[in-house]
């Protein structure tokens, strides 16, 4: 019976992910299909050169994938698949343990302070659109360019609201903000500051022709705190707390 080529190819490609060479992966997947076979049968099924088959099988024996029998011709069979799986899982766990250890060293080095600069209004607006689309919990938009946000980002903001995102606008007085968002007012706004989930932030110039973008949570938190400070002052103005302080 001819081997199922598509399944052998799929298994071969997956085996390569665990460090087997192309011939080793082809040979082992063929042996799993055959159950027990000699080198020539494995080579034929795996479509590898017969002259390479013995070397490939020796390597698979050393790596713990294959068992060989005594006698002539030598016969080969796969090691217990559960044992192979356990060995692979142990190697993966070891890999991730090493990566976690590397990650835990980051605080002592400090987080990379990365800000990406973007030029061109279209590119800036595309980045703002992306930032709004990535928001999962809350989105703060502090801007004098309210009309531009309300018109050009209309669908993005509506979709964010439908996802349950809390959307907050800080805008100059007498500027109409989008429907269903929480709004605060602030005079003399110049730049546009946008923060999503306190993990991503964007700061754009007055005409939105350039911006700085960061996905560094520490930097994004600074922008969030600045916007929150503006909101706090706006709320104190609205309740008359600032005006009454000297009375």
pLDDT for res 214: 92
CA-to-CA distance for 90 and 209, rounded, in angstroms? 52
- Cβ distance 153 to 133 under 8 Å? no
pTM here? 0.54
Domain ranges of the chain: 5-79, 116-239
pLDDT for res 89: 81
Residue 239 in 3-state DSSP? helix
Which class in CATH covers the domain with range 5-79? mainly alpha
Which residues on adjacent β-strands are paired with residue 78? 66
Digits of tens for pLDDT over the chain (247 positions)?
A: 455 677 788 888 888 877 788 999 999 999 999 999 999 999 999 999 998 899 999 999 998 999 998 878 889 999 998 888 888 888 777 777 777 777 666 555 555 557 889 999 999 999 999 999 999 999 999 999 999 999 999 999 999 999 999 999 999 998 999 999 999 998 888 889 999 999 999 999 888 999 999 999 988 998 999 899 888 877 765 655 444 433 3
Q: How far is CA 113 from CA 31, 40, 92, 190, in A?
A: 52, 59, 31, 24
Topology of domain 116-239, per CATH? Answer: Endonuclease; Chain A (3.30.870)
Q: What sections of the chain are H helices per DSSP?
A: 5-16, 22-34, 39-46, 50-62, 81-104, 106-109, 121-134, 146-152, 154-162, 217-239
Query: CB under 8 Å to 198, separation ≥6 — which residues?
Result: 138, 217, 220, 221, 224
- Cβ distance 172 to 195 under 8 Å? no
CA-to-CA distance for 106 and 115, rounded, in angstroms? 18
């Amino acid at each position: 019976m001819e081997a199922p080529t598509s399944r052998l190819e799929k298994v071969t490609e997956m085996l390569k992910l665990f460090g087997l060479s192309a011939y080793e992966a082809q040979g082992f997947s063929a042996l799993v299909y055959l159950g027990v076979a000699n080198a020539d049968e494995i080579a034929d099924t795996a479509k590898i050169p017969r002259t390479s088959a013995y070397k490939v099988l020796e390597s698979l024996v050393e790596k713990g994938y294959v068992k060989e029998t005594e006698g002539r011709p030598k016969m080969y069979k796969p090691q217990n698949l559960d044992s192979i799986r356990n060995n692979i899982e142990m190697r993966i766990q070891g890999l991730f343990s090493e990566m976690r250890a590397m990650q835990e060293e980051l605080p002592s080095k400090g987080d990379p302070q990365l800000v990406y600069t973007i030029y061109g209004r279209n590119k800036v607006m595309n980045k703002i659109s992306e930032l709004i689309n990535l928001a999962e919990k809350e989105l703060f938009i502090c801007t004098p360019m309210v009309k531009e946000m309300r018109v050009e980002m209309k669908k993005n903001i509506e979709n964010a609201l439908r996802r349950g995102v809390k959307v907050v606008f800080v805008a100059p007085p007498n500027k109409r903000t989008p429907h269903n968002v929480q709004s605060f007012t602030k005079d003399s706004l110049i730049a546009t500051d946008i923060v999503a989930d306190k993990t991503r932030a964007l700061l754009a110039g007055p005409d939105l022709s350039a911006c700085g973008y960061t996905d560094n949570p520490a930097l994004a938190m600074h922008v969030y705190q600045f916007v929150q400070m503006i909101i706090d002052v706006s709320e104190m103005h609205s309740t008359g707390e600032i005006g009454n302080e000297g009375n």
